[in-house]
């Protein structure tokens, strides 16, 4: 039996500066070159995590007519503390149709976004709380 809390991905080198990320379900994601940078993947992970939380709840009430999430921040190069991102911001631009179902979804949106940020989104919670990253050579 495997631990249901364990998560992992495998990253294979394609060529200098180009890689493919694989998950156990067969998904792949190109990284490097003209594809996503690791920093963009971090921003995408934060945004996708909270988007999924929010969309799951609100779309039960009404299908959004617009659902766009923008994640931004500043990349800082610091000799003392090392490279990192600061000023991370997640901005939701969501619209629901007119009517009772859309009204209910609009009412739930702020609470759902806040709940995702404060409790549910594993990615942003990990970034905000901080966790050690161990690096080893096999």
Structure tokens at 59: 């779309």
pLDDT tens for 63-77 read: 999 999 999 999 999
User: In the structure, what pLDDT confidence band is assigned to residue 2 with cuts at 50, 70 and 90?
Assistant: low
Cα pseudo-dihedral 58, 39, 41, 136, rounded to 10: -120
Looking at the chain, the whole-number percentage of residues with pLDDT higher than 90 is 96
Q: Do residues 24 and 8 touch, judged by C-beta distance below 8 A?
A: yes
Q: Per mean pLDDT, which range of 1-15, 17-31, 40-54, 91-105 is the poorest?
A: 1-15
The kind and range of the H/E element at 92 are strand 84-95
How much is the average pLDDT of 77-87?
94
pLDDT of residue 3: 75
């Amino acid at each position: 039996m495997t631990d249901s809390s364990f998560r992992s991905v495998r990253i294979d080198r394609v060529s200098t500066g180009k890689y493919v990320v694989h998950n156990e379900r067969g998904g792949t994601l190109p990284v490097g070159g003209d594809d996503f940078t690791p920093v963009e993947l971090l921003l995408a992970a934060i945004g996708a995590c909270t988007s999924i939380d929010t969309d799951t709840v609100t779309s039960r009430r009404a299908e959004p007519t617009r659902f766009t999430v923008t994640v931004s921040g500043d990349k800082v190069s610091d000799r003392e503390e090392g490279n990192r991102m600061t000023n991370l911001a997640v901005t939701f631009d969501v619209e629901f149709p007119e009517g009772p179902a859309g009204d209910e979804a609009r009412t739930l949106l702020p609470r759902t976004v806040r709940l995702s940020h404060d409790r549910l989104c594993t990615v942003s919670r990990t970034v905000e709380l901080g966790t050690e990253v161990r690096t080893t050579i096999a």
